Amino acid sequence: MARHGGRGWYGRVAAAALGVTAVAAAASVWTAQAGQPGGEPGRPGASARTAAPTARPVAESIAHASDGGAHAVNITIDDGPDPTWTPQVLQLLRENGVKATFCMVGPQAAAHPDLVKRVVAAGHRLCDHTVSHDTGMDHKSEAYQARQINDAERQITRASGGVRPMYYRAPGGAFTPYSRHLAASHGMRPLGWNVDSKDFERPGTDAIVNTVENELRNGPTILFHDAGGDRSQTVAALRVLLPWLKQQGYSFGFPVR
């Protein structure tokens, strides 16, 4: 999967939040790391496994399929919520009767709890997209990965009024065996994508539409963004693509869990 974006904008937004929560995260249930009794490379130790999260664990493998069947697509929206673009995306989804999965950056969710609640109230699903959107986090320590995932999960859950994320999407696809195991043990299925719309690069509305139409044969899960800069091209592309997908006979589902 292509690695897009980077820390930049997300790092500035998240820096304060990450510093404040680092100490608390160190005291989380995931203090037992690989190398401790019962541990193995890329896995938490035995004591971490016994301190089970409240959510029921799900599969650790990266999900790409749709629960809607062979002719369904999954619309996934990353990096928000954003007060300018998320409401426009929500309006288009509502007009077309489409449910989507919103992969949220923790500090963005914390800053805009009203939007998180609107997403939930409209029947969409939540996804943990970490604190800092660090596309190089697969090269960082397990403690760092745990802070990124756990802190964002808490921020999103608090902003939603108690609704937990159902998925975890690593920024830029930077998954590790440890991060997948950690997320799955918290009830968040690791979530990939099959079609990168390239909207993050703002190549133009027509280019985004063409990319999705041409690459849809790769699989059902389509990646879009509602934050991280000007997303007017994404909104315009969704205005074209959502009706087009329905005209092609596609239904809309959620990523498998």
Mean pLDDT of the chain: 85
Read out DSSP for 19-73?
A: HHHHHHHHTSGGG--BTBTT-BTTB--HHHHHS--SSPP---SPB-SBTT-TTEE
Report pLDDT for 131. Answer: 98
Q: How far apart are CA 36 and CA 47, in angstroms?
A: 9
CA 175 – CA 187 distance, rounded (Å): 16
Give the residue, 202 or 25, on which the prediction is more confident.
202
Read off the pTM: 0.82
Q: What is the pLDDT of residue 55?
A: 77
Q: How far apart are CA 242 and CA 231, in angstroms?
A: 16
Compute the distance between CA of residue 257 and CA of residue 254 in angstroms, rounded to an integer.
Answer: 9
Contacts of residue 147, defined as CB under 8 A and 6 or more positions apart, other chains included, come to: 18, 21, 22, 25, 26, 131
- 70-103 confidence digits (pLDDT tens): 999 999 999 999 999 999 999 999 999 999 999 9
Query: What's the angle, vertex CA 175, arms to CA 242 and CA 129, rounded to 5?
Result: 50
* Strand, coil or helix: 168: strand
pLDDT tens across 100-114, in order? 999 999 999 999 999
User: For the chain, which domains are there?
Assistant: 8-252 (3.20.20.370)
Mean of the pLDDT values across residues 184-188? 98
Mean predicted confidence (pLDDT) in 239-245: 98
Which two three-digit tokens encode residue 76? 């996934």
Interstrand relation of 189-190 and 195-196 (parallel, antiparallel or unpaired): unpaired
Overall average pLDDT of the 233-251 stretch? 98
Closest CA to 127 of 185, 178, 192, 70: 192
Task: List residues with catalytic annotation.
Answer: 78, 225
The pLDDT assigned to 2 comes to: 52
Q: Which of 46-55, 68-77, 147-156 has the lowest mean pLDDT?
A: 46-55
Instruction: Please name the residue that has the structure tokens 């690069």.
Output: 201
Q: Is the confidence at residue 201, as pLDDT, over 80?
A: yes
Q: Lowest-confidence range among 5-14, 77-86, 112-121?
A: 5-14
Comparing 18 with 28, the larger pLDDT belongs to 18
pLDDT above 60 for 27? no
- DSSP track, 69-113: -TTEEEEEEES---TTTHHHHHHHHHHHT--EEEEE-HHHHHH-H
Contact (Cβ atoms closer than 8 angstroms) between residue 131 and residue 108? no
Residues 6+ apart with CB under 8 A from 213: 241, 244
pLDDT at 138: 97
Q: Look up residue 224 and give its amino acid.
A: F
pLDDT score of 256: 98
